[in-house]
Amino acid sequence: MNWSDRAPALLVLADGEVFEGEAVGAVPPGGLTTGELVFNTVLSGYQEVITDPSYAGQVIAFTYPHLGNYGITPLDDEATRPWCRGVVTRELTARPSNWRATGSLEDFLVARGVPGISGVDTRRLTRHIRDDGSMGCAFGTADEATLRAAATAEPGTDGQDLVSAVTVSEPVTRGSGPHRLVAYDFGVKETMLRCLGDLATLTVVPAGFSAADTLALGPDGVFLSNGPGDPAALPSQAAIVSDLLGRVPIFGICLGHQLLATALGARTFKLPFGHHGGNHPVRRLDTGRVEITSQNHSYAVAADSLPAGVEVTHVNLNDGVVEGIAVPSAFAFSVQYHPEAGPGPHDARYLFAAFERLIETSGLTGRTA
């Protein structure tokens, strides 16, 4: 597409703030798209971000000014389709340059049905969200009044069960490692499945798969994946985790971390603008070592709500948020950040090996054959 052919577009926030730009990507019905607006600070990995199911219900504003420099490749997809509502960027590169590229980001957005807006002053936008918090938005070629009404009406992710839309509909087998795992798909990323597949044969199950059905599979361990939305809107999933506690080793990441904490009796809360980026410093408390981590979450576990017997293992050095917990008596642990991070820092990849050690030493194997 010739850049001069782009239609003028507006991005309107729920608080009335307006940003000008140009329409890119897919053409949405009625010339507008709505969602909860968040910003992500990664310098690369835009395809992984856009295809991460954890962004269901959200519009992603990228702080890095050039998006699409190295094109796209199916090898970097984290799901079979993007679940985000849209993309906001300062500049969308017209001609990508990379030996792995099979197409441009613009073509990808069009083919996958993801609307976008480019030419936005993302520095001003990011500062606004940082100060006033994530909020509903609407963008597109519709008139300003229509966009403003749509932004005001956008409910965001609070209280929303977005997991039911992104989870698998029936169990799927993945991996070829020596152990047997059940992986709960709350919006699992492909890179997570690859990491787990190196150590186990996986049965990836729907979010509502019962604890009894899981235990009937005789797993050596259970994995709780990342996913979108408000953990407080998932009481049935938290109840499933509660039924599994102490009966099989458990490892959770992101939403899986929040659901483990909920199952233990803790509460969660919404962060002002979330943690979305690839360079968040996290301190591992048992060693004092600082890990640089990839993160993508809008909700967090309240430290003062964790019951006795639950250890805080990692904390975020930016704001003190709980980044990891462990329950030695139940052979369970979880982290809020993303150790699989592809692309991203690999400081936390050791957690998959830690899960394997837990499986091998817990004595809780459910294997019957």
Write a three-state SS string for the chain: CCHHHCCEEEEEECCCCEEEEEEEECCCHHHEEEEEEEEECCCCCHHHHHCCHHHCCEEEEECCCEECCCCECHHHCCCCCCCCCEEECCEECCCCCCCCCCECHHHHHHHHCCEEEECCCHHHHHHHHHHHCCEEEEEECCCHHHHHHHHHHCCCCCCCCCHHHHCCCCCEEECCCCEEEEEECCCCCHHHHHHHHCCEEEEEECCCCCHHHHHHCCCCEEEECCCCCCHHHCHHHHHHHHHHCCCCCEEEECHHHHHHHHHCCCCEEEEEEEEEEEEEEEEECCCCCEEEEEEEEEEEECHHHCCCCCEEEEEECCCCCEEEEEEHHHCEEEECCECCCCCCCCCCCHHHHHHHHHHHHHCCCCCCC
- In the set 106, 254, 323, 356, the catalytic residue is 254
- Is 338 considered catalytic here? yes
Upper half-sphere CA count for residue 232 (Cβ side, 13 Å): 13
Distance CA 174, CA 99 (A): 29
Beta carbons within 10 angstroms of residue 279's beta carbon: 13
Q: Is 84 a catalytic residue?
A: no
How wide is the angle at C-alpha 111 spanned by C-alphas 109 and 112, nearest 5°?
A: 65
Which listed residue (36, 291, 340, 356) is catalytic? 340
Verify whether residue 254 is a known catalytic residue. Answer: yes
* Residue of 128, 257, 297, 338 with catalytic role: 338
Which positions are annotated as active-site residues?
254, 338, 340
